[in-house]
Amino acid sequence: MDMKHNVLIEKLRKEINPTLKASTIRKYINDSLVNNSISLYEAYMLSLEALRLEREGYIKPAWNKKVYIKQCIAILNMKMLAYLFSESKSMDLLDNWAQEAYKLNREKRKHYVLDKYEKYLDFDKNIEVLKELLKRRKNKSKPFDDGPYHTEIFPFEYCEPEELIINHDLLSEKHIDESIENLLVEINLLDD
């Protein structure tokens, strides 16, 4: 395992709070995407682990993490990626997590995603909702009060899942470098 991975694993070992572990993984993903050192699929797989840990923080009473709009959007974005990577089991899992997060959401205000969350989660049955999200993605005007925006959460601007789904452009590149595969294993072993 390379040095960056060792540093990440050491940070995760020292941290007991799953939400903070998730943040550490997300920072690693962001840095790796900026440096172009991981693929979108590898980032997706690591993001699933970050989501799993974050979820642990809000479903286990010991951590008392609250769910906000950002978590709901993160799950929706990951479900779109799961669809693009043809990962139906992950789609089902993410759909369950999305329903759970939506019910636990503490941020009660108008928001362009949450106002139609159920419809957005069923994007594979209604392409029109994806067109709405894509229009938001392409709109450069983002008033502060309307956020967080789905473009501010993984996969950020590295991928436009809405457009790919609309155009039926599934992502077939699902290679995982051995070092990332080992990293995923190490992250999961930390839970034991």
pLDDT in tens, 75-106: 999 999 999 999 999 999 999 999 999 999 99
Which pLDDT value is given to residue 108? 84
User: Counting beta carbons within 10 angstroms of the beta carbon of residue 141, is it exposed (0 to 12), middle (13 to 18) or buried (19 or more)?
Assistant: exposed
> CA dihedral defined by 132, 134, 140, 145, rounded to 10 degrees?
50
Q: What is the DSSP letter of 109?
A: S
For the whole model, what pTM was predicted? 0.91
Residue 130 Cα to chain centre, angstroms: 17
